[in-house]
């Protein structure tokens, strides 16, 4: 079995920026593209950020047992990791990078144990998170409120993670992530 690094964080915590930067820096890291039943947002492309499926297509894959884990992260929106993604990346000797919700992260940890390292990116505060989501301007006010409520719930799971990195200053957070990844690679 290969190695896995799982990132989880409330949306707006800067997780995507951190993951994208690390993926650029480390050729051994490879992003596991999740499947989702939600519609693409902004510039998102099929097969790049997500495999965008209809709710029916998603349900069929669940029934066929094609997911390593899946969750209804937001009401009516399912997200899941396909077993084929993990196999594809391990076949190339890559370290699988997951960007999944807190429950999915715990499911991966339970399934892969010491082969998986779970890392929680913590926003400096809920107020800061709200202003980041507002300035991102991709969600309606109603969706932002939904994400804030979700964020508070997600933060309550942070103590279950192997590592927690606070993203107050991006460069400091990146330094901490690099140290964690270097340790994982050396293991
Ligand atoms: P967004 O809609 O902002 O792209 O993602 C919403 C949430 O779904 C994020 O917390 C993200 O980490 C989570 N997510 C994305 N892919 C997966 C997945 O494959 N499994 C699980 N459990 N959660 C996922």
Instruction: Give the residue whose CA is nearest to atom 21 of ligand 1.
Output: 100
Per-residue exposure over 102-115, b if at least 16 CB sit within 10 Å of its own CB, e if not? bbbbbbbbeebeee
Cα R_g (the chain), whole angstroms: 16
Residue 116's pLDDT band (boundaries 50, 70, 90)?
very high
- Atom from ligand 1 closest to the CA of residue 80: 19
How far apart, in whole angstroms, are the C-alpha atoms of residue 22 and residue 7?
Answer: 12
State the pLDDT at residue 39.
95
Domain boundaries of the chain, sorted by first residue: 4-186
State the pTM of this model. Answer: 0.89
pLDDT score for 146 = 87
Q: What is the pLDDT of residues 135-167, one digit of tens each?
A: 888 888 898 888 899 899 999 999 999 999 999
Q: How far is the CA of 24 from the centre of ligand 1 (A)?
A: 21
Higher local confidence (pLDDT), 11 or 18: 18
Arithmetic mean of pLDDT, 22-36? 97
Which CATH superfamily includes the segment(s) 4-186? Answer: P-loop containing nucleotide triphosphate hydrolases (3.40.50.300)
When pLDDT is averaged across residues 2-12 and rounded to a whole number, the result is 92
Average pLDDT, the chain: 94
Segment 73-90, tens digit of pLDDT: 888 999 999 999 999 999
């Amino acid at each position: 079995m290969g190695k896995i690094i799982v990132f989880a964080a409330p949306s707006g915590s800067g997780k995507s920026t951190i993951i994208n930067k690390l993926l650029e820096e480390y050729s051994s890291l490879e992003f596991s593209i999740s499947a989702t039943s939600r519609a693409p947002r902004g510039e998102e492309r099929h097969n790049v950020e997500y495999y965008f499926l209809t709710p029916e297509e998603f349900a069929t894959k669940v029934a066929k047992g094609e997911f390593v884990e899946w969750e209804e992260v937001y009401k009516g929106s399912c997200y899941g990791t396909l077993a084929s993604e993990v196999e594809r990346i391990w076949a190339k000797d890559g370290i699988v990078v997951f960007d999944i919700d807190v429950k999915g992260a715990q499911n991966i940890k339970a399934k892969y144990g010491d082969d998986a390292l779970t890392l929680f990116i913590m926003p400096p505060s809920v107020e800061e998170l709200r202003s980041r989501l507002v300035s991102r301007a991709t969600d309606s006010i109603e969706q932002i409120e939904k994400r804030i409520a979700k964020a508070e719930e997600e933060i309550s799971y942070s103590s279950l993670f192997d590592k927690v990195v606070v993203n107050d200053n991006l460069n400091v957070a990146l330094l901490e992530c690099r140290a964690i990844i270097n340790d994982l690679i050396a293991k």
